[in-house]
Amino acid sequence: MIPINAKSMPTAFRMRRLWLLALGLLSGCATFQPRPISPAGSLAAYESRSLADPGLGKFLAANRVAVPGRGQPWDLKALTLAAFYYQPSLAYARAQLLAAQAARITARERPNPSLSLTPAHDSGVPGVSSPWIVPVAIDWPIQTAGRRGDRMAEARHLAAAARWDLEGTVWGVRSRLRSALLDLFTARQTESLLARQVSALRSVLNLLEGQFRAGVVSSYDVTRARIALDNATLARQAQQGRIREARIALASAIGVPISALRGVHPSFAGFKQFPRDLTRPAVRQQALLGRSDVRAALAQYAASQSALKLEVARQWPNIALGPGYAWNSQLAGDREWQLGLSLTLPVLNQNQGPIAEARARRRVAAAQFLGVQSAAVAQIDGALAAYRSTLGQVRTAESLLGNLRRQLKSIRAQVNAGELQPLDLANAEVAFFAGAQNRLAARIAAQQALGALQDAVQSPLTLRPSLLQSAQNTPHSTRP
């Protein structure tokens, strides 16, 4: 504590100096800026989103992808970048990462010293110019046992976990987009095959009705053909509805309204390929060690370690230094140096409760890591088995369709030669289109299994690190 003599410095001047000092300290403080959210405004902004947005074009160009022109197809890569630019779930994950990074600033801050003013009035001392004395007390806290470093380590690990969570969100956005695009491809291809099957069944019905009028077949055969035609027609109508639903789901996966897909032609070329590069043992091993959820759980465990270390350090009390200088010329002219020292005595508890809680949280984090890693093993192995199985089904379906194609060609030749009837050819066409639907179903199942495998291994063979990094750091801002 430093009492300052009123005789040595006028009171008004002294108070003015203190106010200027306080204002100087506060001049560097942050100020609050309100950013209200308008539901109507945010809805209007969402409805105005477009794949022709200049900002999206710059984002695509930065990732070395040309913006598709009018009438040109948008492939999976271009649509994925559009989703990285617009998807709200990514904006939320980025905000979570920013919050975790801001916590690192809090963790490394040192406690501020405190300043207290206790003006005193002494009118009993004769012969002084002013009876006022303004003692100044400074309290300087000192943290012990390295707890600031422990705090910083915990915040650093939590920020790393948030970054891995963001990477997992990126993979989720890509997975959802690919699934929606595959659903649209499935609906369109199925509707096209059903349209050709309906045409073949109509030919069968027309031929049977002619034979019925000639007395060659019974009404039962005609009715059965009508039922088959009606079932195929209903199935085709259902697929037409699924096409519209799939387009809406695709727009939602990108993060744009359905109007943004007007005039946009998605490319389905990638769904004709069945790569095997993700089935290598090295890819599996890399995934089990480097998947985003595994790395995030590991970072959470490291944070729990630092938190426990911090609670152990808190057994030792902090120290508060309060040096001072006392001078009172009004009485005997005494001068006295003072060194104040205060600390909390750990006599009633030694922080046992928080230490026990932190130790329990570390056990929870360890169990969570083991659970995440074991779930990753099961997911990867299951996806590998499913993909290999569906590839076998694709080969069988391709072989079956090849046989049906040869059969159809043979029957067509025999009909042209007059050896078989047109009804035989119509029935062969119906069988061929049924086989084509079976092959399509096998291909779609294999593509779904491939998507699940890509999600499970999260390999750079599927999503390049540069693309992953750009999805985490840039794009469309939703900050209010």
> What one-character DSSP code corresponds to residue 270?
G
Superfamily holding 2-10+66-466: Outer membrane efflux proteins (OEP) (1.20.1600.10)
Cβ neighbourhood burial of 256 (10 Å; 0-12, 13-18, 19+): buried
Contact 4, 134 (CB under 8 A): yes
Kindly report the pTM of this predicted structure: 0.85
Contact 119, 133 (CB under 8 A): yes
Contact 440, 196 (CB under 8 A): no
Contact 303, 161 (CB under 8 A): yes
Residue-wise burial string across 299-335, b where 16 or more C-beta atoms lie within 10 A, e elsewhere: bbbbbbbbbbbbbbbbebeeebebebeeeeebeeeee
- Long-range contacts (CB closer than 8 Å, 24 or more residues apart) made by 277-285: 277/461, 278/387, 278/450, 278/453, 278/454, 278/457, 278/459, 278/461, 278/462, 279/384, 279/387, 279/388, 279/453, 283/457, 283/459, 283/461, 284/380, 284/381, 284/384, 284/457
- pLDDT per residue, tens digit, the chain (480 aa), is 344 444 444 445 545 655 565 555 555 677 888 888 889 998 999 999 999 999 999 999 999 999 898 889 999 999 999 999 999 999 999 999 999 999 999 999 998 888 777 666 666 656 555 566 666 678 888 888 888 999 999 999 999 999 999 999 999 999 999 999 999 999 999 999 999 999 999 999 999 999 999 988 899 999 999 999 999 999 999 999 999 999 999 999 999 999 999 989 999 999 999 999 999 999 999 999 999 999 999 999 999 999 999 999 989 888 888 776 555 545 544 455 667 788 888 888 888 999 999 999 999 999 999 999 999 999 999 999 999 999 999 999 999 999 999 999 999 999 999 899 999 999 999 999 999 999 999 999 999 999 999 999 999 989 998 888 888 876 555 444
CA–CA separation, 95 and 90 (whole Å): 9
Contact 114, 120 (CB under 8 A): no
